[in-house]
Chain A
Amino acid sequence: GAVVSQHPSWVICKSGTSVKIECRSLDFQATTMFWYRQFPKQSLMLMATSNEGSKATYEQGVEKDKFLINHASLTLSTLTVTSAHPEDSSFYICSASMGASNSPLHFGNGTRLTVT
């Protein structure tokens, strides 16, 4: 149980275009979803926290107009990288929480974004 599906697993796009990444909780309702960015050989950096039906909370230094997050339902959150540039190339990972204070996070398999 507790499967999180992230799609696509990899994407290549041209500079200036937008890319949407989906994160779905397949067998549970996720009250909270998190989006992370991971640079090579580094830990995960939290970008934003989203709760269903409300605006996402962005971490300091993360541009909310560039990384649009929508959490329209209890099973789906999307991250859209707008007007992508090569420096946005990275590994993006989502995770979902059932909401209980001691419940673990369940992670998607990540999306490798390459902007050319």
Chain B
Amino acid sequence: AQSVTQLDSHVSVSEGTPVLLRCNYSSSYSPSLFWYVQHPNKGLQLLLKYTSAATLVKGINGFEAEFKKSETSFHLTKPSAHMSDAAEYFCVVKVASYDKVIFGPGTSLSVIP
């Protein structure tokens, strides 16, 4: 069975400090992994994706994520948080063999000035 876990439902950081949003997945097949961001009352915007190429993936707005197969993790990081980063973040797994997309429960990021 496939599943996605986001270990923190809420993360709060000070502006200018690093961000770490954690994601672990479970999949019997080689998955494609994505991070999306959602601002209030908006759709989801793709931040970055991992599709079996480089394990360190760089995305938009200074975000990056590292795929670690041994840890079944795909944590999202950013060196310095900005106020505009405050939003909901979803880790998503896509299992090609099932053509199925599985969403994590989401992590709400707050940035304190």
Contacts and interface: CB of A to CB of B under 8 A. Distances in A.
Contact of A102 (B46, B96, B108): B96
B43 A110 contact: yes
Contacts of B49: 102, 104
Contacts of A44: 44, 90, 103
B36 A107 contact: yes
A95 B90 CA distance: 15
Interface of A is mostly: strand
B2 interface: no
A91 interface: yes
Interface in B97-113: 99, 101, 103-106, 108
B106 A42 contact: yes
B34 interface: yes
A43 B45 contact: no
Interface of B is mostly: strand
B96 A101 contact: yes
Size range of the interface on B? 20 to 34
Nearest to B97: A101
Interface residues of A, number: 22
A46 B103 CA distance: 9
Contacts of B96: 101-102
Interface string A68-104: 0000000000000000000000010101000001101
A110 B43 CA distance: 5
Given A101-B32, A102-B51, A107 B106 contact: no
Interface string B68-94: 000000000000000000000010101
Interface of A: 4, 6, 32, 34, 41-44, 46, 91, 93, 95, 101-102, 104-110, 112
15 contacts: A6-B43, A42-B105, A42-B106, A91-B41, A101-B96, A102-B32, A102-B49, A102-B51, A104-B32, A104-B34, A104-B94, A105-B94, A105-B101, A106-B46, A110-B42
